[in-house]
Amino acid sequence: MEFEPKIVAFLCNWCSYTGADLAGTSRMKYSPSLRIIRVMCSGRICPTFIFKAFQEGADGVLVCGCHPGDCHYNEGNYKCLRRFKLIEKYIRQMGIEPDRIRLAWISASEGKLFAELANEMTQTIKNLGPSTIKAQLEQMV
Amino acid sequence: MSEYDRIGIIFCDPPSGYTPVDLSDLIIFVRDNLKIPVIIDQPRYLFSDFHVLMETIRHHRLTSVILAGIRPERFRQIVRTAMTKLGYQAESVVIADFGDTWCVYESQVQNVYELLERVHSQVVDKRHQSSHIQQDTIVIGAGIAGIQASLEIANAGLKVYLIEKSGTIGGHMAKFDKTFPTLDCAACILTPKMVEVGQHPLIELMTCSEVVAVNGTPGHYKVTVRQSPRWVDVKSCIGCGTCSEKCPVKVSSEFDEGTTMRKAIYMPFPQAVPNKYLIDGEACRFIQEGKCGVCVKVCPVTGCINLYEVPREIEIEAGNIIVANGFKPFQASRIDRFGYGKYPNVLTSLEFERLINAAGPTGGEITFRTTDKKGNSVFVNDSGKPQKIGIIHCVGSRDENFNPYCSKVCCMYSLKLAHLVREKLPSAEIFEYFIDMRAFGKGYEEFYCRIQDEGVRMIRGKTARVDQIDGHLHLRTEDIIAGRMLEQDMDMIILSIGLEPADDQKKLSDILGIDVDEYGWFKAVRYEIDPVRTNRPGIWIAGVCQGPKDIPDSVVQASAAAAGVLQSIMSDRLTDSEVFPLTYMIN
Amino acid sequence: MISRVDPEFKQELHKYGLREWNECFHCGNCTAICPLTKDDNLFPRRGIRLAQMGLKKQLVSSVDPWLCYYCGECTETCPRNANPGELMMVLRRYLTSCYDWTGISRLFYTRKIWELAAIILIALGVIISFLVFLPPSPDLFSKPQAFINEQGGVMINSLANGISASRFVQLIEYGDLLMAILVAGFLISNIFHMFYRVILSDRNLKFPFYSYFTEFWSLIYNFVTQARFSKCDNRTYWIGHLLVMTGYTIMFTLIVAFLKEFQIEEIKPWYHWQRLLGYYSTFGILFFLIYTFIGRIRKTDLKMQFSHPSDWMFIVLLFFTAVTGILIHIFRVSGLPAATYFTYLIHLAFLVPMIVIEVPFSKWSHLAYRPFAVYFDRLRRAGQNRQSIVELTPAI
Amino acid sequence: MEEIRIGVYICWCGTNIAKNVDVERVAAEAGKLQGVVVARDYKYMCSDPGQDLMVKDIQEMNLNRIVVAACSPRIHEITFRKALEKAGLNPYLFQMANIREQVSWVHDDREKATQKAIDLVTGAVKRVRWQEALNKRSVKVNPATLVIGGGIAGLTAAREIARTGRIVFLVEKEKSLGGMMKKINRTFPNLDEASKYLNPIIEEVSSHPHIQVYLNSQLVKLSGYVGNFIGTVNHKETQSELEFGNIIVATGLKPFKPTPLSNYAYKRLPNIITSVEFEEMLSKGYIRLDSRQEPKHVAIIHCVGSRNPDFLPYCSRTCCQTALKFANQIKDLLPKAHVYQIYADMRSMSKGCEEMYSKTAKRGVMFLMYDQKGKLPYIREAGKNEKTRLVIEMKELLSGEQVEVTADLVILMVGMEAQETSKQLSQVLGISRCSNNFYIEKHPKLDPVATTTDGVFIVGSCQAPKEISDSASQAKAAAARVLAMINKDWVEVEVITSSVREEICCGCQICVHVCPYGAIEFLKEKKVSCVNEVICKGCGTCASACPTGAIGSRHFTEKQILAQIEGVMLQLLEV
**Please, what are the domains in chain C?**
9-99 (1.10.1060.10), 104-382 (no CATH)
Neighbours of C51 (CB within 10 A): 23
Task: State how far residue C272 is from chain D, nearest Cα, in angstroms.
Answer: 58
**Contact indicator for B132, B317 with CB cutoff of 8 Å:** no
Are the CB atoms for B541 and B522 separated by under 8 Å? yes
Distance CA B272, CA B42 (A): 68
Single out the residue of C274, C251, C224, C262 nearest to residue C354, CA to CA. C251
**CA-derived radius of gyration, chain C:** 24
Q: What are phi and psi of C314, to 5 degrees?
A: -65, -45
Asked whether residue D432 carries a pLDDT value surpassing 60, the answer given is: yes
Provide the strand spans (E) within B345-470.
346-348, 369-371, 377-379, 388-395, 429-434, 457-460, 465-469
What is the rounded CA–CA span in Å between residue D326 and residue D279? 9
Between B333-342, B361-370, B401-410, D394-403, the lowest mean confidence (pLDDT) is in: B361-370
DSSP label at residue D482: H
Q: What helix, strand, coil percent values describe chain B, rounded to 5?
A: 30, 25, 45
User: CB A95: neighbour CB atoms within 10 A?
Assistant: 10
C187: Cα within 13 Å, side-chain hemisphere: 22
Q: How far is CA B42 from CA B67, C221, D158, in A?
A: 10, 105, 36
Strand partners, B55: none
DSSP alpha helix (H) spans, D106-167:
110-129, 152-162
Residues of D in contact with A41 (CB under 8 A): 539-541
**What pLDDT band is residue A1 in, cutting at 50, 70 and 90?**
low
Q: What is the pLDDT of residue B102?
A: 53
| Cβ atoms within 10 Å, residue B90 | 14
A98: domain CATH number is: 3.40.50
Terminal Cα distance for chain C, rounded: 33
Pick from A71, A68, A53: nearest CA to A10? A53
pLDDT in tens, D444-470: 888 889 998 889 999 999 999 999 999
| CATH for D255-417, options being 3.10.20.30, 3.40.1010.10, 3.40.50.1110, 3.50.50.60 | 3.50.50.60
User: In the predicted model, what is the mean pLDDT of chain B?
Assistant: 85
**Residue D394 pLDDT more than 90?**
yes
Which domain range does residue A125 map to?
7-140
Residue A104 within any structural domain of the chain: yes
Closest by CA to B195, choosing from D74, D57, D91, D45, is D45
Report pLDDT for D459: 95
In a domain, residue A23? The reply is yes
Mean pLDDT of B369-398: 87
CA distance B341 to chain C (A): 19
Residue of chain D with shortest Cα separation from C24: D361
Q: What is the pLDDT of residue B583?
A: 26
Question: What whole-number distance in Å separates Cα of residue A114 and Cα of residue A104?
Answer: 9
Identity of the residue numbered B424: K
Of residues D452, D544, D566, nearest to A43 (C-beta): D544
Instruction: Identify the DSSP state of C271.
Output: T
More confident residue, B27 or C50: C50
Q: Which of C21, C24, C27 to mutate to test the interface with B (most CBs of B within 10 A)?
A: C27
Per the domain annotation, does A1 fall within a domain? no
Q: What is the mean pLDDT of residues B393-399?
A: 93
| CA end-to-end distance (rounded Å), chain A | 29
Answer yes or no: do A27 and B182 touch at CB < 8 A. no
**Hey, is C44 helix, strand or coil?**
coil
The interface residues of chain A toward chain D in range 75-104, judged by CB-CB distance below 8 A, are 75-76, 79, 83
Q: What is the DSSP letter of D453?
A: S
Average pLDDT over every residue of A83-101: 89
Residue B585's nearest CA partner among B62, B41, B33, B85 is B85
What integer pLDDT is reported at residue D183 of this predicted model?
92
Which residue, among A28, A36, A131, would best test binding to D if mutated, counting the most D CBs under 10 Å from its CB?
A36
What is the predicted pLDDT for the residue at B127? 53
- Per residue in D236-273, pLDDT (tens digit) is 888 999 999 999 999 999 999 999 999 999 999 999 99
C331: left (phi over 0), alpha (psi -120 to 50) or beta: alpha
User: Which of A25, A26, A27 to mutate: most B Cβ within 10 Å?
Assistant: A26
Q: How far is CA B99 from CA B68, C392, D47, in A?
A: 10, 91, 70
Q: D115 or B377: whose pLDDT is higher?
A: D115
pLDDT class for B75, splitting at 50, 70, 90? Answer: confident
Three-state secondary structure call for residue D553: strand
Whether the CB-CB separation of D246 and D233 falls below 8 Å is answered with: no
The secondary structure of residue C356, as a DSSP letter, is I
Asked whether the beta carbons of B320 and B568 are under 8 A apart, the reply is: yes
Report pTM: 0.81
Q: Provide the residue ranges of all domains of chain D, joining segments of one domain with +.
A: 6-136, 145-252+419-491, 255-417
In terms of Cα–Cα distance, which of B273, B256, B280 is closest to B354?
B256
Query: What Rg, from alpha-carbon coordinates, does chain B have?
Result: 31
Encode pLDDT of D52-72 as tens digits: 899 999 999 989 999 999 988
Given the candidates 3.30.70, 1.10.3470, 3.40.50, 1.10.10, the CATH classification of the domain at D6-136 is: 3.40.50
CA atoms within 13 A on the CB side of B536: 26
Give, in degrees to the nearest 5, the angle at Cα B529 between B526 and B530. 65
Q: What pLDDT shows up at residue D43?
A: 83
Are β-strands B465-469 and D378-381 bridged in parallel, bridged antiparallel, or unpaired? unpaired
Over range D551-558, report the average pLDDT: 88
Nearest to B462 among C27, C39, C392 (CB): C27
At residue D186, the 3 state secondary structure works out as: strand
Touching pair D, B by Cβ (3+ pairs < 8 Å): yes
C/A touch flag: 3 or more CB pairs below 8 Å: no
The answer, yes or no, to whether residue B2 has pLDDT greater than 50, is: no
* pLDDT band at B1; cut points 50, 70, 90: very low
**Residue contact C53–D402, C-beta within 8 A:** no
**Mind listing the pLDDT tens digit for each residue in C341-385?**
888 888 888 888 888 888 888 888 888 888 888 888 888 887 775
pLDDT higher than threshold 50 for residue B504: yes
Query: Nearest Cβ partner of D483 from B189, B239, B570?
Result: B570
Fill in the amino acid letter for B388.
K
What confidence tier does B160 reach under pLDDT thresholds 50, 70, 90?
very high
Give yes or no for residue B404 having a pLDDT over 80: yes
Q: Taking all residues of chain D, what is their mean pLDDT, rounded to a whole number?
A: 90
Whether A2 maps to a domain, the answer reads no
| Residue A36, beta-bridge partner list | A9
Write the single-letter amino acid at A6: K
Q: Return the C-alpha torsion angle D54, D58, D64, D68, nearest 10.
A: -10
Name the DSSP letter for residue B314. Answer: E
* Residues of chain A found within 8 Å of residue B184, distances taken between Cβ atoms: 25
D574 pLDDT exceeds 70?
no
Distance CA B105, CA B99 (A): 14
Q: In this model, does residue B6 exceed pLDDT 60? A: yes
Distance from CA of C15 to the nearest CA of B (A): 26
Question: How far lies B120's CA from each of B7, B94, B123, B132, in Å?
Answer: 9, 9, 5, 19
Task: Answer whether D145-252+419-491 and D255-417 agree in fold.
Answer: yes
| Integer Cα distance of C254 and C272 in angstroms | 14
User: For chain C, how long is the longest CA-to-CA vector?
Assistant: 84
- pLDDT band at B585; cut points 50, 70, 90: very low
Number of domains in chain A: 1
Rounded Cα distance, D71 and B500, in Å: 35
What is d(CA C262, CA C371) in angstroms, rounded to the nearest whole number?
Answer: 29
User: What pLDDT sits at residue B571?
Assistant: 78
Those residues whose C-beta lies under 8 Å from the C-beta of residue D469, and which sit 6 or more positions away, are B527, B528, B529, B530, B531, D350
Q: Give B97→chain D minimum CA distance, Å.
A: 29
CA-CA distance, B309 to D258, in Å (whole number)?
69
Q: Which of residues 35-54 of C touch D (CB under 8 A)?
A: 46, 49-50, 52-53
Predicted local confidence at residue B20, as pLDDT: 58
What would the DSSP string read from start to end of B521-574? -B--TBTTTBTTB-SSTTEEE-GGGGS---HHHHHHHHHHHHHHHHHHHHTTS-
Task: List the one residue out of B395, B387, B414, B367 whose CA is nearest residue B489.
Answer: B387
- The Cα A42–Cα A63 span in angstroms is 8
Question: Which of D378 and B48 is assigned the larger pLDDT?
Answer: D378
Domains of chain B by start residue, with CATH: 7-131 (3.40.50), 137-327+503-570 (3.50.50.60), 329-500 (3.50.50.60)
Whether residue B483 and residue C81 make contact (CB cut-off 8 A), yes or no, is: no
CATH superfamily entry for domain D145-252+419-491: FAD/NAD(P)-binding domain (3.50.50.60)
Q: Are C180 and C358 in contact (CB under 8 A)?
A: no
Question: pLDDT > 70: what percent of chain A?
Answer: 99
Contact flag D393-C52 (C-beta cutoff 8 Å): no
d(CA B543, CA B549): 7
Average pLDDT for residues B254-261, to the nearest whole number? 85
State the nearest Cα–Cα gap between D185 and chain C, in angstroms: 26
- What stretches of B234-378 show up as alpha helix (H) in DSSP? 242-246, 285-289, 294-298, 349-355
Residue A88 lies in a domain: yes
For residues B429 and B455, is the Cβ–Cβ distance under 8 A?
A: no
Residue D329 has a CB neighbour count (10 Å cut-off) of 18
Give the chain D residue whose CA is nearest to the CA of B480.
D398
Positions in chain C short of pLDDT 70 = 385-396
In this prediction, residue A59 has a pLDDT band, given cuts at 50, 70 and 90, of: very high
SS3 call for D62: coil
Q: Report yes or no on A41 lying in a domain.
A: yes
